[in-house]
Amino acid sequence: MLRYFLLSRLLRVFIVFFIIVLLNFLLPRAMPGDPASILANEYNLPADTVRILRSMWKLDRPLYEQFFAYLESLFTGQWGYSYKYYPRTVYELVMERLPWTLLLQGITSLTVSGLGIIMGILAGWRRGSKVDVSITVSAIVVYAIPYYWLALMLQYVFGYILKVFPVAHAVTPGLPHANFFEYALDTLWHLALPVTAVTLTAYASYTLVTRNSMVDVLEEDFIFVAKAKGLPERVVMKHAIRNALLPPLTMLAIRLGHIVGGAVITETVFSYPGVGYLIYESIIYKDYPVLNAAFFMLAITVIAANFAADLLYAVVDPRIRYVKRG
Amino acid sequence: MVVALTISLSLLGPYTNTTVAQEVVLKLGMPDQIDNFNPLIGLFAAAGYIRGMLYDTLLYISANGTYIPWLAESYSVDSEKLLLRFRIRPGAYWHDGRPITASDVEFTFNLVVASNYSDKLDKWGLRKYIEYVKAIDDRTVEFKLKEPYAPALFYIGALIPPLPKHIWSEVDPTTFKNMDNPVGSGPFKFLKYTPGVSIELVANENYYRGRPKNDRLVVVLYKSTDALMLDLQAGNIDAITATTVAPELVPVLLRDPNIRIVELTYTASLRFIGFNNDRYPFSIREFREAIAYAIDKEAIVRIVMLGYGYPAADGWVQPLFGTWYNPSVGYRRQNLTKAAEILDKLGFVDRDGDGIRETPNGTVLRFKILTISGLAEFERSAELVAGWLKRIGIDASIEAQALGTVDQREGVGDFDIGFMGIGMSITTDLDYYLYERFHSSQAYPLGTYAGRNWFRYRNPELDILLELQRSTLDPERRREIIWKIQEIVARDIPALTIYMKTALVAYRTERFTGWVESEGPTSKISILNLSPRKPEVVTIITQVPVVTTVPVTQVREVTQVVGGTTVIMTQTEVRVGTLTVSETPPQPRGISTETLTLLAVLLVVFIGAIAFLATKRR
């Protein structure tokens, strides 16, 4: 049965994938404006330059030729040159940012889901108590704060007034690091504000979902029975948590799928190197090769993460079995 | 997950094992816009700053527009204005130690105008004008022009830097990004580029103008101006470059006694509205003039720019350009009655009494002002313009769209009025701003993309003058032509200039002295003139008694001096007293013990709180 499930899922994944590949090509080009003239406008370039750029980037070729070139670039892994950052390659641009994105997004995924789930379990377990009220209310309040404002405040208070954390960047500019340990510490030090900002604004959704799921589970008969049997609270809690974790794990899987997409606002506010800002810039400047590569990458990870989440359910919750319908 | 994090951490760039002794480090902040370090194909202004530090040009164009012999110790132009000769300074070396010779210059310019790559490298159309480039001896290089071409000295002398032949002859210059170890001729050598964080340069020990007094130049890259300004205020960077201070930030920055704000005299940004001259009724000169009379340029400067700007002259060339600017060309002051009169005379009257005029054939005067979204300055200005147009009976509304859309629509002529902006600098030849902007050869028919003359302005009289100024090398004669061009543009107003946004830059005074404000604090001349302050000076400052007063930032007082002269907003000029004078503590350059303690305490409190909540059940 599992084999049938895998096959049908894989088929679906492939269909989705091909639609994405097509949209990937069409959508950026459907936006008005062409990359060369946008750059010309921004940097006051003479008409000769624009003509040169257009022919260099083959923008003067017919669309179908561009499409075949695009397919070729995707499947050979030769992503070509970025338009905006010409003659730097797309691969180079993405790769110098991807590790930073994975680091930031990885850590925030951990902190957001970790904090959110723990808070949700506490609130759900002690439903109606002061603990529940304070956790829920504070979560909603923090959730309601606009992210960029919170980030700017953190920068201002901790970076400018108290000067305990750096305002921006991923490492101290111009500081030679004596060894790897120092380098890692410097990196973590720079991560403090971005991670705090993201965590504070994003954990609430996990908290609320986990709490509600927890409350539902606690209403169920097996918990009643467990309590009636006189099992210690710890054991009861363990059973409840295990059943309540499904929804937040789904959320986490979706989040992990987007991990390579970066975080535009965080990267902008904290001048953190990452893929998100690159994608944002590429949209503004119609940097087709970068957009194609980034969305391609994003599509693959999202599909893979969702696929993994489906499989993971079965592991977390033994009751879930994939069977053929009908 | 933890493993993945460790791996990604370890991938993040190399850490060096060198411990640096007491070094003088100058830190500049600028936008994170680094395309490449190839001076022949790089486009971005921010990266251009780095390219400028790495590569010297033959001449240095100073802030007043004069050429200073730089890598060339002298240059000459023959009487027919066809032969240019440059003599290279003795004792000039590339960063790798090889001497800079005339053959390097010959090689570089031949690459641009006479090589297989010329198609892609000659972005300036120099091939049309340069007959040959020849090294006469080791130190002399000769350029022969086909016909007199006024901007030649600018392109050859001040724009394209000579490149080392021994390196560039072995690469494809159209795809060479030159980021691994660029070998230049400038005051600083390349050390390291950390993407998204910084570019580090070190002083060139063998620099022919003397080694810079700061050992290292760290250019810190920012994606948001807010972070950049915070770091400037916090003292983490000494100056900003390739970006400007927003007017509303001036009083905030001036609260810090160590920050100085300078208005750059050689550059400013022009804001203008372009009319679609191919679309009725914008094709009528008088109609455009009526709109010009409806607009209050002073009010926009006051309201939108908070005074940091000045009304722009109608003739496109601005007072910024010194003698090239025709002082008899001013700008039309707002005169709503006159505007209404013109419209009445044209037969554009309100027939149905709805407050909006109609054309003689009954079409309502209803237009859209197209501008770029997300730029508050543009949108606010465009709204003011729309408000004034309503008062003369023209229904105008704002249409703010993404840069690409705006660019495309203007290019193909799918617009009525476009509100746009461009940067202007004396260090660029005026031909650059005029020819492609107004020559009818650049005005393609509606539907075909026109890069700069998207107003689609065609005037044979002006075409002749535009061509003539290119081939006139006698400055006096050329000035007359350019003055005439301004008169015609001001008369016809194919596009209406609105205001000039002054370029305000800021730098900190406590760590370095010798900033040359007239050239721009971060210009090459200024950077070379910098020297670190002696520690004693700092001690003396700290002994100034603290006087508390209200910091007065008198914006008006500062901005009344505009146009041509440097306006320096010093502490003493704009403040009544000192707010606080204290020694700036050395900036944390890593995690301090205090920080670690604080972190630990926060962590313990946090874990404790959770543990407390968890254990205290029921």
Q: What is the pLDDT of residues A118-140, one digit of tens each?
A: 999 999 999 889 999 999 999 99
Closest C-alpha to B502, from B325, B308, B353, B356:
B308
Which residues are CB-contacts of B39 (< 8 A; sequence separation ≥ 6)? B51, B55, B160, B161, B163
- Four-residue CA torsion sign, A68, A71, A73, A75: negative
The greatest distance separating any two alpha carbons of chain A, rounded to the nearest whole angstrom, comes to 84
Alpha carbon A137 to its chain centroid, in Å, reads 26
- Whether B374 and chain A come into contact, CB under 8 Å, resolves to no
Best A169, A187, A272 member to test B by mutation, with max B CBs in 10 Å, is: A169
Average pLDDT over residues B77-95: 92
Asked, as a colleague might, if the bond just before A87 is cis with ω within 30 of 0, I would say: yes
Domain ranges, ordered by start, for chain A: 17-78, 97-321
Q: How confident is the model at residue A150 (pLDDT cuts 50, 70, 90)?
A: very high
* Fold category of A97-321 in CATH: MetI-like fold (1.10.3720)
Give which of B499, B489, B565 is closest to B311, Cα–Cα. B499
Smallest Cβ distance to A174: which of B123, B198, B222?
B198
CB contact under 8 A, B9 and A174: no
Place of tokens 């006479």: B114
Tell me: the pLDDT tens digits for A98-107? 999 999 999 9
Tell if the CB–CB gap between A44 and B422 is shorter than 8 Å. yes
Q: How far apart are CA A279 and CA B223, in angstroms?
A: 13
Are B5 and A49 in contact (CB < 8 Å)?
Answer: no
Between chain A and chain B, how many beta carbons pairs sit less than 8 Å apart?
Answer: 228
Q: What is the nearest CA distance from A4 to chain B, expressed in angstroms?
A: 30
Strand partners, B74: B87
Q: To probe the interface with A, which of B591, B601, B616 has the most A CB atoms within 10 Å?
A: B591
Q: What is the predicted pLDDT for the residue at A323?
A: 59
Q: What pLDDT sits at residue B451?
A: 83
Structural contact between residues B229 and B249, judged by C-beta atoms closer than 8 angstroms: yes
Residue B599: predicted pLDDT: 76
Going by the DSSP 8-state scheme, the letter that residue B58 receives in this structure is S
In the prediction, which pLDDT does B397 show?
Answer: 95
The mean pLDDT value for A31-47 works out to 81
- Tell which of A84, A85, A89 to mutate to test the B interface (max B CBs under 10 Å): A85
Does the beta carbon of B230 lie under 8 angstroms from any beta carbon of chain A? yes
Mean per-residue pLDDT for B212-218?
Answer: 93
Closest-CA distance, A144 to chain B, in angstroms, reads: 22
Distance CA A208, CA A128 (A): 14
Is A96 close to B403, i.e. CB distance below 8 A? Answer: no
Whether ipTM > 0.90 holds is no
pLDDT digits (tens, 9 = 90+) for B115-149: 999 888 888 889 989 999 999 999 999 999 998 88
* B34-69 pLDDT, tens digit each: 999 999 988 888 999 999 999 999 999 988 888 999
Cα–Cα dist B524/B115, whole Å = 31
Residues 32-91 of B with CB under 8 A from A: 32, 34-36, 38, 41, 43-45
Average pLDDT over residues A163-175: 89
| Confidence tier at A50 by pLDDT (50, 70, 90) | confident
Is residue B11 over pLDDT 70? no
- Is 70 exceeded by the pLDDT of residue B567? no
| Candidates B222, B224, B594, B599, partner chain A, best to mutate (most A CBs within 10 A) | B224
| pLDDT at residue A79, as a whole number | 82
The separation between the first and the last C-alpha atoms of chain B, rounded to the nearest angstrom, is 35
Whether A88 sits inside 8 A of B179 (CB atoms) is: yes
Q: Could you tell me what percent of chain A has a pLDDT over 70? A: 96
Band of pLDDT at residue B413, cut at 50, 70 and 90: very high
pLDDT value at position A196? 94
The shortest CB-CB distance from B590 to any of A49, A172, A277 is to A172
Rounded Cα gap, residues B407 and B265, in angstroms: 29
Q: Do A56 and B35 touch (CB under 8 A)?
A: no
Measured in whole angstroms, the distance separating CA B401 from the mean position of its chain's CA atoms is 23
Burial class for B534, CB neighbours closer than 10 Å (0-12, 13-18, 19+) = exposed
Q: In chain B, which residues have their Cβ closer than 8 Å to the Cβ of A81? A: 175
CB-CB under 8 Å, A46 with B432: yes
Neighbouring residues of B332: CB distance < 8 A, sequence distance ≥ 6 = B289, B292, B293, B314
CB burial of residue A75 (10 Å; 0-12, 13-18, 19+):
exposed
A52 CB neighbours in chain B (<8 A) are 119-120, 123
Tell me the pLDDT band of B592, cut-offs 50, 70 and 90.
low
Instruction: Mark which residues 121-180 of B lie under 8 Å from A by CB.
Output: 122-125, 174-177, 179
In A, which residues are within 8 Å of B590 by CB distance? 172, 175, 182, 185-186, 189
Give me chain B's average pLDDT, please: 85
CB contact under 8 A, B1 and A106: yes
| Partner A contacted by B593 (CB < 8 A) | no
